[in-house]
Every structure is written in structure tokens, then in C-alpha cells.
């Protein structure tokens, strides 16, 4: 039997990455931040001057992307890029190339290869719908656009970066629209995914809810 998988899909800045990582830690599962793969592909494209609309070259690069995940850090070409891939600019580039079918196809198997016992927790936008359609538990995690904007703003300010709250909220709204409208793997709640709105939830409460859902169905998985 394949290792169990918990998928957390949802829009940008909904908190799914933080929740997924904590769920994985508490369950002793592996964790995959799928968005980092697209951010790594975007950073690689920027560094190597690959046009973001050159689908064929981007897909070829993605298949051979020299990446590593070690000790909670992310490496590209043997350089620690953990913080760099979280910049707003790289995030916007990742959203653009994430709509390209050939690139998504190139990264599909790389994501599935993370599935190992005792289990996997992964977050993204199409984890439950495309990458792991047979996941044990699928969660669609969201929050209001205003709240997500405030969270991203606090995160950037906390890192000492300059930030404009209104611009961040507009960028999030634009990304929501772009991700929902793309023809390949659009952002949406699947019929078999459970909705978790974190607008008024603490991180710990959200983690507790996901684990409660999983434990309720795990014996039958």
C-alpha cells in the first residue's frame, strides 16, 4: 500500500505552508512544499536569463533542476536560496510560469517522488487534484484576501523588508484571479476536499483540525 498523503491546497498567504509543516512534524511524516519547486524554477530562469514565456526551455530546465532540501533549507546549484525564493518578485515569477502546462508536467513526477513511508504532508495549489488525487486527506485551506494581505505584510516587515500593505493585498487578489483562471490545474476546492478557513483561527487550531480529520479516517485508509 502506498504511503498516506495529506494535501493542503489553497491560495497564496493562507498559511498552508506553516500548517502543513507543523502537521508533518507532529505526525512524523515527510513534508513537501510544492510551491518551492516552482519558485526554484523561477529563480533558475531569472539567473540563467530564460524568458518566462519560453515554455520549452523552462520545462527542460525543470527536469534537471539541481535542487536539494537539507536541514530545513533549500538549495539551488549548491547555493542556499531559502530566503531568496520567498521574495515577492520570485513569487510573482513562479505564479507566471506555474500556468505553463509543459513546466507543470515536468515537475509532476519530481513531486510524486517525495511520497515515502511513513507518510507525506504537502501543500500547494493542485496537490489533491492533480499530483496526489488518491490522497488520504485533502484540505482546501483559505482565509480572506484582506487577512492574507496582512499576514504577508507582517511577514515581510518582520524580516526587515519594506512593504506596502495595499500593494500586497492587490498582488494577492491578482494572483488569486490568475491562479483560478489558468487552464491547467486551476486553483479550486475539489469536491472531496475539506474546507478550512483560517481567517479567525490560530495556527495551532488549524493544525489540530487537520490532524483530527486525518486521525478520524486514517484507520480506514
Residue 214 lies in a domain: no
Top pLDDT among 41 and 92 is at 41
Q: Is 193 annotated among the ligand-binding residues?
A: no
Q: Is 14 annotated among the ligand-binding residues?
A: yes
Dihedral sign for Cα atoms in the order 43, 47, 48, 53: positive
Residue 69 lies in a domain: yes
Q: What is the mean pLDDT of the chain?
A: 90
Res 181: pLDDT: 81
Gap between the Cα atoms of 146 and 11, Å rounded: 12
Could you tell me the residue range of the domain that residue 77 belongs to?
5-207
Res 116: pLDDT: 93
Q: Is 15 annotated among the ligand-binding residues?
A: yes
Q: Is 138 annotated among the ligand-binding residues?
A: no
Contact at 8 Å (CB) between 128 and 193? yes
> What's the structural domain count of the chain?
1
Residue 218 lies in a domain: no
Q: Is 57 annotated among the ligand-binding residues?
A: no
Res 1: pLDDT: 53
Kindly state the cell numbers that stand for 86. 520567498
Residue 104 lies in a domain: yes
Gap between the Cα atoms of 6 and 182, Å rounded: 24
Q: What percentage of the chain exceeds 70 in pLDDT? A: 98
Q: Is 160 annotated among the ligand-binding residues?
A: no
Residue 74 lies in a domain: yes
Q: Is 28 annotated among the ligand-binding residues?
A: no
Top pLDDT among 187 and 40 is at 40
Q: What is this structure's pTM?
A: 0.83
Residue 109 has pLDDT above 80, yes or no: yes
Contact at 8 Å (CB) between 39 and 94? yes
Res 221: pLDDT: 45
Q: Is 35 annotated among the ligand-binding residues?
A: no
Res 22: pLDDT: 94
Residue 81 has pLDDT above 70, yes or no: yes
Gap between the Cα atoms of 128 and 130, Å rounded: 6
Q: Is 98 annotated among the ligand-binding residues?
A: no
CATH number of the domain bearing residue 56: 3.40.50.300
**Which tens digit of pLDDT belongs to each residue from 14-73?**
989 899 999 999 999 999 988 899 999 999 999 999 999 999 999 999 999 999 887 778
Amino acid at each position: 500500500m502506498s504511503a498516506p498523503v495529506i494535501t493542503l491546497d489553497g491560495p497564496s498567504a493562507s498559511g498552508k505552508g506553516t500548517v502543513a509543516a507543523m502537521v508533518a512534524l507532529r505526525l512524523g511524516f515527510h513534508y513537501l512544499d510544492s510551491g518551492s519547486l516552482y519558485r526554484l524554477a523561477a529563480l533558475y530562469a531569472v539567473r540563467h536569463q530564460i524568458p518566462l514565456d519560453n515554455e520549452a526551455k523552462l520545462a527542460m530546465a525543470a527536469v534537471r533542476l539541481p535542487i536539494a532540501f537539507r536541514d530545513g533549507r533549500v538549495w539551488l546549484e549548491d547555493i542556499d536560496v531559502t530566503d531568496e525564493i520567498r521574495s515577492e518578485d520570485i513569487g510573482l515569477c513562479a505564479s507566471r510560469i506555474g500556468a505553463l502546462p509543459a513546466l507543470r508536467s515536468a515537475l509532476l513526477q519530481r513531486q510524486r517522488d517525495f511520497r515515502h513511508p511513513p507518510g507525506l504532508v504537502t501543500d500547494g495549489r493542485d496537490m489533491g487534484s492533480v499530483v496526489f488525487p488518491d490522497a488520504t486527506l485533502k484540505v482546501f485551506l483559505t482565509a480572506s484576501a484582506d487577512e492574507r494581505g496582512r499576514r504577508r505584510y507582517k511577514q515581510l516587515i518582520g524580516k526587515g523588508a519594506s512593504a506596502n500593505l495595499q500593494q500586497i493585498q492587490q498582488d494577492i487578489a491578482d494572483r488569486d484571479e490568475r491562479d483560478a483562471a489558468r487552464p491547467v490545474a486551476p486553483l479550486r476546492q475539489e469536491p472531496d476536499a475539506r474546507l478550512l478557513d483560517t481567517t479567525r483561527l490560530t495556527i495551532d487550531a488549524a493544525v489540530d483540525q487537520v490532524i483530527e480529520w486525518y486521525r478520524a479516517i486514517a484507520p480506514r485508509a
